[in-house]
């Protein structure tokens, strides 16, 4: 992490903000973090921001580089910045009469809601609490003090919340209090005394009473939280490098819990679930900011227009504090116009005065991101290219999958808040650990919790949907679920969860762990059983944004498909051709597999040809249907690739059945299967090696391709473009031999039918030798298609089927940044692709280059292919829109660079 620290040499570590000015601005997000940069910008805009200062991300970098110690000069800069805050507020840090209290919050350059630690009310002690009591009242002061002790002990001193919760609950039970608000100042004093006794007992030392010691403890805790487990997992899920570090923001406290004229809330300038242009948010009167997002109390809506969507008995802010509401709306409009994006803002009202604590680009669902991007472009706030860049390719997954059918029978168990749209079906679980364990086994699970916390991040990611009985639309569960694209229902008050017994109850009904439920995040409903789904509507805003994306990109996008259904799906998603048709998949259909097995079991070429003659019309029909659907779009058809033993039965019963239908003795069949068995079939008798050994197989397939193409040309009047691909070539000679046979077959079909068509013969580059010899192979090949699945296996020496047992350890220890079978290893496999592309083009300038492994639908890999100047990527049908958008991003980002 040393580079950022080196960049700071000779510069300052601390940047101030407040009082209508700031040292930093919104363009300094890398140094000040998102929160610090935006606080500085709001101060510059003259908005009511409590003064404070930011310790930069470079301090975090230096802190870890120096073995968790602070860089020279930092303490002096912090003391100077603290003095400036004292001057601005008229309060003094640690003063007996008019104490300055501060919040200490994290702020990375990328938003990580709830992942790192926060401390509020810092600066309170047995002495300063009396000064606060004189200013704001005894009960408020001592309530604030006990909150601070709880938070500081948990975040900084590592004590569990439960210790303090038990003390508080026992006290309330002893004196028959139901609510915290019933406790007096004297009650809080007694509870604080018990808290401090518990601290001394567990830690062997007293609670720190020196505000400066408290401050440095909190700063260290925030830097330390950058490396906590939940933060590391969040970074991994969201591609945030550990090297970025976090900033720390120290800001003077304002209080939303000073009575009925004070409040705190969170708002969005547009609806983060739907993208609708409405002012949207929640608030709590007489509360601190953490109370809203923690989901402990269900908050009230900010505006009347959203009151029907939020179950609350409280009046909306628009009615409870109309002057504050109007000022907040004006600030929100200013911020959205200034940042030209939907903003997520946090605010506090202290004695009817509004303060802005944060603004950032709001987390949103994919549907909301799409609508906001298109609407803002049409409003003239951003241009079409910016709109394309606002929707991340990975978000499209949320838009491309089914929702609940309007005609479906809905057995509603409970209704809550529609916190994150989408629908999902799964088995109920009540713990995040179990959600993760079951998901790893391939089960679909629905995570049900009373409320979620940052510790639940792994279970939320593993679950198909999340349900909580408490919390509002801006609770932790809601914000994180929207960011992850998970359907979510929050604040389902009628839901009673008994995690210990493994049941939940609602409306007199009881459901057990493992029961199937359906979640409708758009309606905020939990439904019994599995409910019918419908395919998404990809017109309207989706069609418009993809049209803009297509204008921007240069990389073509094809699909990997071999069934009519997959081809039709891919075309509907905008596929511009077939990049990989795996012909072996067609052989596994029930009426074909016996014929394939008889071909394998044949004793000589004549027997194989007899079986192949039965397969010919079947394959011809397959290809004809693909050509018919694809029209004049190119279709790359890979000839048979897997080893023949894959088509033979394996169990005793299957062996007996095949032997009987083939009319051979079962022992003969077993012997044949034994002879075909290979110790390492991935590197065995497969791909072009089958074509060399059994040329009649490839000749049959080539004939089926060309006969189908001619048939469609005669039937429709347009000319299909077959691209015949020879797999697993390692030498030019292999391709020479097999291309000659394909060409001969093509000419024979053209002569027989009196029709000639354009076609190409190329190869799949999936062996390191082929990549290195690409210059020679290009003398014969018309195109290269990089089969990055096998190229990754053969380059890294890792079996994709066996890698799961150790790849996670490799990722966790930073050996591989990402799973190389998901995101292309650009330094190793990518370098071979680059070498092959360069050498192939040097031999044959116009050679067509594409990629057809699973990486073809991975945004980072698509960007790499764009940079190399490949002609196309090919991916599964549902990844086609993702690849189209990723290709547009790559083109636009390169243009901006």
Residues 6+ apart with CB under 8 A from 19: 43, 51, 88
Gap between the terminal Cα atoms of the chain: 24
Joined together, the tokens standing for residue 229 give 């487990």
Q: Among the options 153, 458, 461, 476, which is catalytic?
A: 476
Contact between 529 and 836 under an 8 Å Cβ cutoff? The reply is no
Q: 203-212 as b/e, with b when 16 or more CB fall inside 10 Å?
A: eeeebbeebe
Cα–Cα dist 887/879, whole Å: 12
Sheet holding 263-268, edge to edge: 300-301, 280-285, 263-268, 343-350, 353-361
d(CA 420, CA 424): 12
Q: How far apart are CA 815 and CA 622, in angstroms?
A: 44
Three-state helix/strand/coil letters over 559-605: EECCCHHHHHHHHHCCCCCEEEEECHHHHCCCCCHHHHHHHHHCCCH
CA distance 609 to 167: 84
Instruction: Tell whether the torsion through CA atoms of 818, 821, 822 and 828 is positive or negative.
Output: positive
Structure tokens at 111: 């938003």
Q: Say if CB 863 and CB 889 are below 8 A apart.
A: yes
Q: Is 581 a catalytic residue?
A: no
Contact 291, 297 (CB under 8 A): yes
Residue with tokens 């990754």: 792
CA-based torsion, 187, 190, 195, 196: positive or negative = positive
CA 170 to chain centre: 42
Residue 722 contacts residue 685 (beta carbons within 8 Å): no
Q: Which two tokens stand for residue 582?
A: 């795996």
Pick from 172, 159, 169: nearest CA to 198: 159
Q: What is the largest CA-CA distance in the chain?
A: 103
Active site residue 852: yes
Task: Tell me the C-alpha distance between 515 and 448, whole Å.
Answer: 12
Is the sign of the CA dihedral 13, 18, 24, 28 positive or negative?
Answer: positive
- Report yes or no: 271 and 262 within 8 Å, Cβ to Cβ: no
**Structural tokens at position 454:** 């940052």
Instruction: Please give the radius of gyration of the chain, using alpha carbons only, rounded to the nearest integer.
Output: 32
Which of these is catalytic: 852, 855, 865, 866? Answer: 852
In residues, how long is the chain?
897
- Which three-class secondary structure state does DSSP give residue 863? helix
Helices (H), 353-506: 366-379, 384-390, 432-440, 457-462, 476-484
What strands, in cross-sheet order, belong to the sheet with 465-468?
Answer: 412-415, 525-528, 516-520, 423-429, 445-449, 465-468, 488-490, 417-420
Residue whose entry in the numeric block shows the structure tokens 């910045």: 81
How far is it, in rounded angstroms, from Cα 318 to Cα 820? Answer: 52
User: In this structure, are residues 742 and 724 in contact, taking their beta carbons and an 8 Å threshold?
Assistant: yes
Going 791 to 795 to 799 to 805, the CA torsion angle's sign is: negative
Q: Phi, psi (5° rounding) for residue 484? A: -85, -10
- Give every strand in the sheet of 496-498, ordered side by side: 496-498, 503-506, 509-512
Which residues belong to the active site?
476, 852
């Amino acid at each position: 992490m040393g580079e950022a620290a080196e960049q700071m040499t000779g510069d300052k570590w601390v940047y101030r903000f407040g009082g209508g000015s700031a040292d930093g601005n919104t363009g300094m997000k890398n140094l000040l973090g998102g929160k610090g940069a935006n606080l500085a910008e709001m101060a510059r805009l003259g908005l009511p921001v409590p003064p404070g200062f930011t310790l930069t991300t470079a301090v975090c970098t230096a802190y870890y580089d120096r073995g968790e110690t602070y860089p020279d000069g930092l303490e002096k800069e912090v003391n100077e910045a603290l003095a400036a805050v004292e001057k601005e507020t008229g309060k003094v840090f640690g003063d007996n009469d008019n104490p300055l209290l501060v919040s200490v919050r994290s702020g990375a350059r990328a938003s990580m809601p709830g992942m790192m630690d926060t401390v509020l009310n810092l600066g309170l002690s047995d002495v300063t609490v009396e000064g606060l009591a004189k200013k704001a009242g005894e009960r408020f002061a001592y309530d604030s003090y006990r909150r601070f002790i709880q938070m500081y002990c948990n975040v900084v001193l590592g004590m569990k919340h439960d210790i303090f919760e038990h003390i508080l609950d026992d006290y309330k039970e002893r004196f028959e209090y139901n609510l915290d608000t019933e406790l007096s100042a004297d009650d809080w004093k007694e509870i604080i005394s018990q808290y401090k006794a518990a601290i001394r007992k567990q830690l062997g030392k007293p609670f720190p009473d020196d505000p400066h010691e408290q401050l440095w403890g909190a700063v260290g805790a925030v830097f330390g939280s950058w490396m906590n487990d939940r933060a590391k997992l969040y970074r991994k899920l969201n591609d945030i490098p550990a090297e970025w570090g976090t900033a720390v923001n120290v800001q003077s406290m304002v209080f939303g819990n000073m009575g009925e004229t004070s409040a705190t809330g969170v708002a969005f300038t547009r609806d983060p679930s739907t993208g609708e242009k409405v002012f949207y948010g929640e608030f709590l009167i007489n509360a601190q900011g953490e109370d809203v997002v923690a989901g402990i109390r269900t908050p009230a809506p900010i505006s009347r227009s959203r009151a029907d969507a939020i179950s609350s008995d409280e009046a909306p802010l628009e009615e409870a504090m109309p002057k504050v509401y109007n000022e907040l709306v004006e600030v929100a409009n200013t911020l959205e116009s200034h940042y030209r994006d939907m903003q997520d803002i946090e605010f506090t009202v202290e004695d009817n005065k509004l303060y802005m604590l944060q603004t950032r680009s709001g987390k949103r669902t994919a549907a909301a991101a799409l609508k906001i991007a298109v609407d803002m472009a049409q409003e003239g706030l951003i241009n079409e290219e910016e709109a394309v860049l606002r929707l991340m390719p990975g978000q499209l997954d949320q838009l491309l999958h089914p929702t609940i059918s309007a005609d479906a029978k809905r057995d509603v168990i409970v209704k809550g808040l529609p916190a994150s749209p989408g629908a999902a079906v799964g088995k109920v679980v009540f713990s995040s650990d179990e959600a993760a364990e079951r998901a790893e086994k391939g089960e679909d699970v629905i995570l049900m919790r009373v409320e979620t916390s940052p510790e639940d991040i792994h279970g939320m990611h593993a679950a198909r949907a999340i349900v909580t009985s408490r919390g509002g639309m801006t609770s932790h569960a809601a914000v994180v679920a929207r960011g992850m694209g998970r359907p979510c229902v929050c604040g389902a008050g009628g839901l009673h969860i008994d995690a210990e017994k493994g049941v939940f109850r609602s409306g007199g009904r009881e459901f057990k762990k493992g029961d199937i439920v359906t979640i409708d995040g758009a309606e905020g409903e939990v439904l019994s059983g599995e409910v019918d789904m419908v395919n998404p509507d990809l017109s309207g805003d989706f069609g418009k944004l993809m049209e803009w994306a297509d204008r921007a990109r240069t990389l073509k996008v094809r699909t990997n498909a071999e069934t009519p259904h997959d081809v039709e799906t891919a075309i509907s998603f905008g596929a511009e051709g077939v990049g990989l048709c795996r012909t072996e998949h067609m052989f596994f259909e029930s009426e074909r597999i016996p014929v394939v097995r008889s071909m394998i079991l044949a004793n000589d070429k004549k027997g194989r040809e007899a079986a192949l003659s039965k397969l010919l019309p079947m394959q011809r029909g397959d290809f004809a249907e693909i050509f018919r659907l694809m029209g004049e779009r190119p279709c790359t058809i890979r000839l048979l690739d897997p080893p023949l033993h894959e088509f033979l039965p394996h169990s005793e019963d299957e062996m007996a059945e095949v032997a009987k239908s083939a009319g051979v003795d079962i022992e003969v069949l077993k012997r044949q299967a034994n002879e075909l068995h290979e110790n390492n079939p991935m590197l065995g008798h497969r791909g072009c090696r089958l074509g060399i050994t059994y040329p009649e197989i490839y000749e049959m397939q080539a004939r089926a391709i060309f006969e189908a193409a001619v048939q469609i040309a005669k039937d429709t009047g347009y000319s299909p473009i077959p691209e015949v691909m020879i797999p697993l070539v390692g030498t030019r000679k292999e391709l020479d031999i097999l291309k000659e046979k394909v060409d001969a077959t093509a000419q024979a079909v053209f002569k027989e039918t009196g029709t000639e068509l354009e076609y190409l013969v190329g190869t799949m580059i999936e062996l390191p030798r082929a990549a290195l010899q690409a210059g020679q192979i290009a003398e014969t090949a018309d195109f290269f298609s990089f089969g990055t699945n096998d190229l990754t296996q053969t380059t890294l020496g890792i079996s994709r089927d066996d890698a799961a047992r150790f790849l996670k350890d490799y990722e966790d220890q930073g050996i591989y940044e990402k799973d190389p079978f998901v995101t292309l290893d650009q330094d190793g496999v990518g370098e071979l692709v680059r070498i092959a592309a360069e050498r192939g083009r040097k031999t044959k300038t116009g050679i067509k280059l594409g990629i057809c492994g699973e990486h073809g639908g991975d945004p980072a890999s698509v960007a790499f292919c764009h940079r190399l100047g490949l002609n196309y990527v090919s991916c599964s049908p549902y990844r086609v829109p993702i690849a189209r958008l990723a290709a547009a991003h790559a083109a636009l980002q390169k243009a901006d660079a």
